Amino acid sequence: MLNIILFGAPGCGKGTQAKRLAEHYGLNHISTGEVIRSEIARKTELGRSMEGYISRGELAPDDIVVGMIRDYMESHRGEGSIFDGFPRTTAQAEAFDIMLDRMGLAVDTMIYMDVPEQELVDRILLRGKDSGRADDASEEVIRNRIDVYRSQTEVVAEYYSQRGKYAGVNGHGTMDEVFERLCNVIDALPR
C-alpha cells in the first residue's frame, strides 16, 4: 500500500503522470486541484469560499485543503494513493504527517518532477486552449502560480528530503520517458 506524493511546479505534468501511475500500480489518484474545481463547478459553499484564490493563482487556505484530504483519507482507508498537488505548503505537510501517523500510515516518498520554467508556461498556455481552466488562460495568472510555487511550495521538497523521503526525476522528455523514470523510482522503494 503505497502513498506517493508527486511534486513539481504548475504545468510540470504531475496530473497526467499521476493518472497513469495510479492505473499502473493500482493506486487511487487524488488531485486537490481537481477536488477544488469540482467544488467550484458544483457551486458548493466550500467551492465558493475558494473561487477567488484559484482565479488569482493563489493557494487555497491550508485548513480547507487539509480538511479535504482528511475526508479523502477517511473514505479510502486501506488503500494506497498518489497525491497530486498536495501538500503544497510546509503547514500542509506537517498536518498530513500527523494525520497519517494517527492512522498508522506514512508517506513512502515524494517524487519531484523537474521542468524548466519557460516550458512550464508554454505547456500551461497550450493546455488552457482546451482545458477550459480559467487559471490556465492568462499568462499573468500562470506566472503568479509559478511565483507562489517558488515562494511557498518549493520548500516542501526540503521537508521530505530531510526525512529521507525524496527523489527527483527529470520531467523534460516525452510522456513515456518521464513515466518510465517515475516507475524506476517507485519500483526501487522498499516494499
Nearest approach in angstroms of CB 190 to ligand ADP is 27
Judged by beta carbon, residue 38 or residue 188, the one nearer ligand ADP is: 38
Among 21, 40, 60, 82, binds ligand ADP (CB under 6 A): 60
According to the binding rule CB under 6 A, does residue 10 interact with ligand ADP? Answer: yes
Q: Which three cell numbers stand for residue 73?
A: 483519507
Nearest approach in angstroms of CB 128 to ligand ADP is 10
CA distance 91 to 49: 20
Among 17, 18, 86, 109, binds ligand ADP (CB under 6 A): 86
Among 6, 81, 85, 166, binds ligand ADP (CB under 6 A): 85
- Single out the residue of 22, 143, 34 nearest to residue 86, CA to CA: 34
Give the binding range for ligand ADP (CB under 6 A) out of 26-34, 74-82, 159-167, 175-183: 26-34
Among 7, 11, 22, 156, binds ligand ADP (CB under 6 A): 11
Nearest approach in angstroms of CB 50 to ligand ADP is 7
Window 130-169: contact mask with ligand ADP (x via CB under 6 A): -----x---------x------------------------
- Single out the residue of 78, 26, 42 nearest to residue 186, CA to CA: 26
Contact 7, 17 (CB under 8 A): no
Judged by beta carbon, residue 34 or residue 108, the one nearer ligand ADP is: 34
- Single out the residue of 2, 12, 4 nearest to residue 154, CA to CA: 12
According to the binding rule CB under 6 A, does residue 32 interact with ligand ADP? Answer: yes
Q: Which three cell numbers stand for residue 69?
A: 484530504
According to the binding rule CB under 6 A, does residue 54 interact with ligand ADP? Answer: yes
Q: Give contact residues for ligand ADP (rule: CB under 6 A).
A: 10-11, 31-33, 36, 53-54, 57-60, 65, 85-86, 88, 92, 135, 145
